[in-house]
Amino acid sequence: MIKEHHLNIFVLGLLIFVPIFAYWNDQPFTITLMTRAVIFAIAAVGLNLALGTGGFISFGHAAFFGLGGYVMGILAWHSQNYVTLIEWPILIEGTKSMPIIWIITIAASASLAAIIGMISLKTTGVYFIMITLAFAQMMYYFSTSWSAYGGEDGLSIYVRNNFPGLNTLDPIQFFSICCVILLTVLFFMGRLIKSPFGLALNASRQSRQRIEAVGFDFHKLQLTAFILSGAITGLAGALFADLNRFVSPSMFSWQLSGEFIVFIIIGGVGRLFGPVIGALIFVWLEHLIGGISDYWHIFLGFILLAIVMFGKGGIIGLLCREDVESE
């Protein structure tokens, strides 16, 4: 059996060499497809902290993904139309600068996650699943009825936002930005789950009583994890909106929340690279089967059903069975 460590290196190699190969062979579409997969991977890595390590199933992470998209959309819209965002009490203008947008996105999604988390984490199990779902729906309906920013039609951004020193309209350069962010997030996540906080979070999933008995604050642990998780998924949303140069209420849709969970399940729950592998496979399958049949969701449905019914631990669990047993 393959070591999980080796599989991770292989995936990293794919992430770097497939786009380079596509660039040499002049296949910008492949690069865009990879960018899409990388952005989905960032979103799912964020969710994996809550779902995999923390063990609370959020069925509403599209709320953060969509919020990220709208933060980017609104800032860029104000900038491209030369309309000030807020005039009072301080003058705030829109911006087209990616780093600034990212910082604001992270702050905004972390705040939203704090609010949703404070209410939802009072509950557990099925209640938590349904409440997070309901909050994402609330964001969805809010965005459709907020006509100032496009309502159901969404917002279009004419030119991709700027990053100092790079031409973001070039697929390979935009891919590099997203890929570096994914690697940074993965590095951060790898450190985090081995930190005292990560270990405590992991333990809190397995036994609430014990974690409280040794003096941790269970709710604080979960809420912190939820906020971090939401912030990362929000950042992915800003990148996704930038990739499409378009943001619409569909970024809040509950199907998207479901797909994020699917990425994690395909790859392997609670594994560092699980969401990355899942997102890569999902986007690849979507492209492959979507090209053959218009009804690719049927096939996705059956694949998913098979994974849930028969495959425990996703792809990583399948390939690295030794690790599963020793766990």
Q: Hey, what are 215's tokens?
A: 């003096």
Residue 80 or 253 with smaller CB distance to other proteins: 253
Measured distance CA(76)–CA(98) in Å, rounded: 10
> How many chain residues bind other proteins (CB under 8 A)?
43
Q: Hey, what are 182's tokens?
A: 């994914």
Residue 86 in contact with other proteins, rule: CB under 8 A: no
CA within 13 Å, CB half, 206: 8
Residue 147 in contact with other proteins, rule: CB under 8 A: yes
- 127-146 mask for other proteins (x: CB under 8 A)? x-xxx-xxx-xx--xx-xxx
Residue 291 in contact with other proteins, rule: CB under 8 A: no
**Residue choice 126, 213, 214, 292 for contact with other proteins (CB under 8 A):** 126
Residue 284 in contact with other proteins, rule: CB under 8 A: no
Query: Cβ of residue 232: shortest distance to other proteins, in angstroms?
Result: 20
CA within 13 Å, CB half, 78: 18
Going from the C-alpha of 319 to that of each of 168, 316, 322, the distances in angstroms are: 37, 5, 9
Query: Cβ of residue 80: shortest distance to other proteins, in angstroms?
Result: 23
Measured distance CA(116)–CA(136) in Å, rounded: 10
Question: Of residues 34-63, which lie at the interface with other proteins (CB under 8 A)?
Answer: 51, 57, 59
- What is the dihedral angle through the alpha carbons of 317, 322, 323, 327, rounded to the nearest 10 degrees? 110
Query: Cβ of residue 46: shortest distance to other proteins, in angstroms?
Result: 17
Question: Of residues 148-167, which lie at the interface with other proteins (CB under 8 A)?
Answer: 148
Which residues are paired to 216 by β-bridges?
none
Measured distance CA(188)–CA(46) in Å, rounded: 11
Residue 123 in contact with other proteins, rule: CB under 8 A: yes
CB contact burial 13-45 (16+ within 10 A = b; e otherwise): eebeebbeebbeeeeeebbbbbbbbbbbbbbbb
Question: Of residues 184-243, which lie at the interface with other proteins (CB under 8 A)?
Answer: none
Residue 7 or 133 with smaller CB distance to other proteins: 133
Query: Cβ of residue 159: shortest distance to other proteins, in angstroms?
Result: 29
Residue 298 in contact with other proteins, rule: CB under 8 A: yes
Residue 111 in contact with other proteins, rule: CB under 8 A: no
Query: Cβ of residue 147: shortest distance to other proteins, in angstroms?
Result: 6
Q: Whose CA is closest to 315, among 326, 303, 327?
A: 303
Measured distance CA(141)–CA(135) in Å, rounded: 10
Q: Which one of the spans 70-78, 205-213, 226-234, 307-315 is the region binding other proteins (CB under 8 A)?
A: 307-315
User: What is the binding site for other proteins (CB under 8 A)?
Assistant: 51, 57, 59, 119, 122-127, 129-131, 133-135, 137-138, 141-142, 144-148, 254, 258, 261-262, 265, 269, 295-298, 300-302, 304-305, 307-309
